[in-house]
Amino acid sequence: MNIDRRQWLGTAGAGALLASLGQQAWAQAQGPIETLNIITGFAAGGTSDAICRRVGTKLSGYAKTAVVENRTGAGGQIAISYVKGRPADGATLLQTPTSMLSIYPHIYKKLPYDPVADLAPVTVGCIFDFGFAVGPAVPASVTTVPEFFAWAKANPAGANFGSPAPGSTPHFIGALLGQHAGVDFKHAGYRGTQPALLDMLGGNVSAVCGPVGDMLPHLAGGKMRILGVSGAKRSRFAPQVPTLVEQGYKDMAHSEWFAFFVPAKTPAETVQRLNGHMRKALATPDVVDSLATFGLDAQSSTPAELAALLQSELAKWGPIVKRVGFTAEG
């Protein structure tokens, strides 16, 4: 079932939120801990790191000091494994994108963590969409996704695209588009969106599927254009670009989220207390505006809403992975 995650987060948890108000009020009365370690699996200077640092500055009511740790490697698995093994005392907070929790279990035979059993949900942090963009290798007359695939059928040497990583959400979006079109759409996985975009701008790859926010700085140069976006509705960061659904791809509404988790067995009172502070932080205008510069829509949720969203995403991506036929080593 395809649902608009923004709408779901805004409405589905009203009852759960009301039920937890008393518990949150008790939790908010507790004093701050000494240090909160916010763990990301991605390098300093990137989107994930920026979210952690901006939110961390707003958590003084929960912790006297918030420290961001970049535990990179294995596509985010190292960070998740590290948090899994930390004490369940509310002093370690994981921030991760959805792929590591909802797609990885379907593409890796063995993972060093169980996304449900080893982590306790705290809150969603933000939601973002993906763009399907083309560069100078594709004629300027191609202005829509169906037109691109018509061109790719006639020019099979150009039927290729890049994504930020093999097994990432945009990898699967591109693969599904190729299947829809009946095109042998060759994929090149990169280490991040920017290397893929630079290769596209250099004419080495025809198209790239990646986060809309990563594409925005390159539009002014005129060598790149976004043909479609993956959300259920148009992106506010590129409102002139139609969605994939608008262009006839009925089952192609896919957004991604960054979310926060603590080690499993963290006391419910601690989770609720952290959730309350996180939701306040994510609602502050400077955090909202700061995330928007990366093409991210700040969001928050109750722990129960995030748990339900994770289960929904796990169920959704299993059949997609099987349909595409991709598996990763490991």
pLDDT in tens, 96-143: 998 899 999 999 999 999 999 999 999 999 999 999 999 999 999 999
103-116: pLDDT as tens digits: 999 999 999 999 99
Nearest to 115 by CA among 327, 317, 328, 324: 317
Q: Provide mean pLDDT across the span 16-42.
A: 69
Residue 47 has what pLDDT? 86
Residues 21 and 90 in one domain: yes
Kindly state the tokens that stand for 77.
Answer: 């698995």
150-204: pLDDT as tens digits: 999 999 999 999 999 899 999 999 999 999 999 999 999 988 899 999 999 999 9
Q: Provide mean pLDDT across the span 284-302.
A: 96
Residue 260 burial by CB count (10 A; 0-12/13-18/19+): exposed, middle or buried? buried
Residues 157 and 114 in one domain: no
Domain boundaries, position 113? 5-128+256-324
Classify residue 219: in a domain, yes or no: yes
Classify residue 273: in a domain, yes or no: yes
Classify residue 315: in a domain, yes or no: yes
Please answer whether residues 299 and 123 qualify as being in contact, where contact means their C-beta atoms are separated by less than 8 angstroms: no
Nearest to 124 by CA among 285, 275, 313, 322: 275
Question: What residues have CB less than 8 Å from 248, skipping those under 6 apart?
Answer: 146
Of residues 316 and 30, more confidence is placed in 316
The amino acid that residue 186 corresponds to is: K
Residue 106 burial by CB count (10 A; 0-12/13-18/19+): exposed, middle or buried? middle
- CATH number of the domain bearing residue 156: 3.40.190.10
Classify residue 184: in a domain, yes or no: yes
CB 72: neighbour CB atoms within 10 A?
16
Please state the φ and ψ torsions of residue 70, each to the nearest 5 degrees.
-100, 100
Residues 267 and 314 in one domain: yes
Residues 196 and 310 in one domain: no
234-275: pLDDT as tens digits: 999 999 999 999 999 998 999 999 999 999 999 999 999 999
Kindly state the tokens that stand for 19.
Answer: 């039920």
Classify residue 77: in a domain, yes or no: yes
Please answer whether residues 177 and 153 qualify as being in contact, where contact means their C-beta atoms are separated by less than 8 angstroms: no
What's this model's pTM, rounded to 2 decimal places?
0.86
Residue 13 has what pLDDT? 52
Q: Provide mean pLDDT across the span 53-79.
A: 95
Q: pLDDT band for position 46 (50/70/90)?
A: confident
Per-residue CA distances from 247 to 180, 220, 311 (Å): 12, 24, 29
Residue 73 has what pLDDT? 87
Q: Provide mean pLDDT across the span 290-294.
A: 94
Residue 192 has what pLDDT? 86
197-210: pLDDT as tens digits: 999 999 999 999 99
Residues 42 and 84 in one domain: yes
Residues 11 and 123 in one domain: yes
Residues 106 and 138 in one domain: no
Q: Which of 229, 264, 279 is the last residue of a domain?
A: 229
- CATH number of the domain bearing residue 262: 3.40.190.150
Residues 145 and 99 in one domain: no
Classify residue 10: in a domain, yes or no: yes
Q: Strands 297-298 and 119-134, how do they pair? A: antiparallel
Residues 121 and 144 in one domain: no
Residue 3 has what pLDDT? 42
Nearest to 276 by CA among 304, 299, 257, 302: 302
Q: pLDDT band for position 303 (50/70/90)?
A: very high
Residue 329 has what pLDDT? 67
The number of domains in the chain is: 2
Please answer whether residues 180 and 126 qualify as being in contact, where contact means their C-beta atoms are separated by less than 8 angstroms: no
Percent of the chain with pLDDT over 90: 83
Residues 40 and 106 in one domain: yes
Residues 217 and 272 in one domain: no
Residue 10 has what pLDDT? 54
Q: Which of 194, 229, 264 is the last residue of a domain?
A: 229
Classify residue 311: in a domain, yes or no: yes
**Is residue 26 pLDDT above 50, yes or no?**
no
Alpha-carbon distance of 278 to 300, in angstroms, equals 8
Classify residue 246: in a domain, yes or no: no
Residues 134 and 117 in one domain: no
